[in-house]
Each structure stands twice: as C-alpha cells, then as structure tokens.
Amino acid sequence: MRIGVYPGTFDPITLGHIDIIRRGAKLVDKLIIGVSTNPSKSPMFTLEERLEQVRRETAGIANGTIEVVSFNALLMDFAASQGASMIVRGLRAVADFEYEYQMAGMNQQLNSEIETVFLMADVALQPIASRLVKEIAIFGGEIGKFVTPAVAAAVKTKVAANKS
C-alpha cells in the first residue's frame, strides 16, 4: 500500500489545501493529512477545531482513502511512523519553491526512504494562503473566494470573538 502524508497547520483549511488533497489522494492508496502543532505559528483555531475542519472539508474525497491525524514531531519521524513513502507538498509561487526545496533537502537527509512530491497549485488558487485569509477576515474583508462557506463562518466567528 502506497501511503502519502500531506502535512500542514491548516489554520484554516483553504480551497488551495483541498485542491492539493484531492489531487494528492490520486497518487496514493492512502493519504494521511497531518495537522501540525507548529510551535513557530500562533494558530487562530485550536488543534481540535482544525482537525474537525479538515475532516469535515475532506469527507468523501477519494472514497475514504484519507485519514486526518494530528502530530507534534519531526515530519519525517511522523511520516515513518505512518508507513509513508512520500510527503505531498503544494507549491504556489517561487517563494514557496525555495522554502520547500530546502525543506525537502533537509528531510531527505533525515530519511532518504521517503520522497517529497510537489504539486503545483491550481492557477486560480495560487494566491490563497491561510495567513492572508485570516488577515483579510480580521480587517472585515470577504473570504468566501478562498475557503468553503463553513470555514468562512468559523473564521468570522473567531474574529468576532477575538474583538470582544
């Protein structure tokens, strides 16, 4: 069985993430979406909320070959523990490539048995970034073009609660 891991903080999950998940799921028998507790980021949503969002938004993709789990470890250790043979990463722009290229090189040094596969973002989805979605929402902008309606509602609720 070919297993892939698509890691991220998914804070929040965007249409860009969902596109990479749909396409990445076609490359493997099982795609594990690893929701990270990245200590270098200050998430808007709790880990439990992000897990729920990702599970809800990916339900039904690829006939149940997707599993959503949290992790708080080195990506390569997590991937190895899941039996993964590949890491799936999305690329939006040259800046993403430079960062991801460096990470892939470091990851290969940690475990050369696990390959990194890059998927180019759909042209229409390239500008979408979770960080920007949150920033737009905080300043009262419309985020419906970048996330699903359920995620947009959750972001708006969080923004309103944080302003109180």
- The pTM score is 0.93
In which element (H, E) is residue 111 found?
none
Cβ atoms of 119 and 130 closer than 8 Å: no
The single-letter DSSP state of residue 123 is: G
Supply φ then ψ for residue 6, to 5 degrees.
-115, 100
Output the CA angle 151-4-123, nearest 5 degrees. Answer: 55
Please report where in the chains the tokens 């949503």 appear, as a residue: 45
Share of the chain above pLDDT 90, in %: 81
User: Order of strands, edge to edge, in the sheet holding 115-120?
Assistant: 66-71, 30-36, 3-8, 86-91, 115-120
The residues annotated with a catalytic role in the active site are 17, 41, 92, 130
- Spatial neighbors of 33 by CB under 8 A, at least 6 apart, are 5, 6, 7, 8, 10, 21, 54, 58, 66, 67, 68, 69
34 to 64, 113, 114: CA distances (angstroms): 16, 19, 15
Instruction: Render pLDDT for 4-31 as a digit per residue (tens, 0 to 9).
Output: 999 999 999 999 999 999 999 999 999 9
The per-residue pLDDT for range 53-94, each reduced to its tens digit, is: 999 999 988 666 899 999 999 999 999 999 999 999 999 877
**Which residue spans within 43-129 are E strands per DSSP?**
66-71, 86-91, 115-120
pLDDT of residue 29: 94
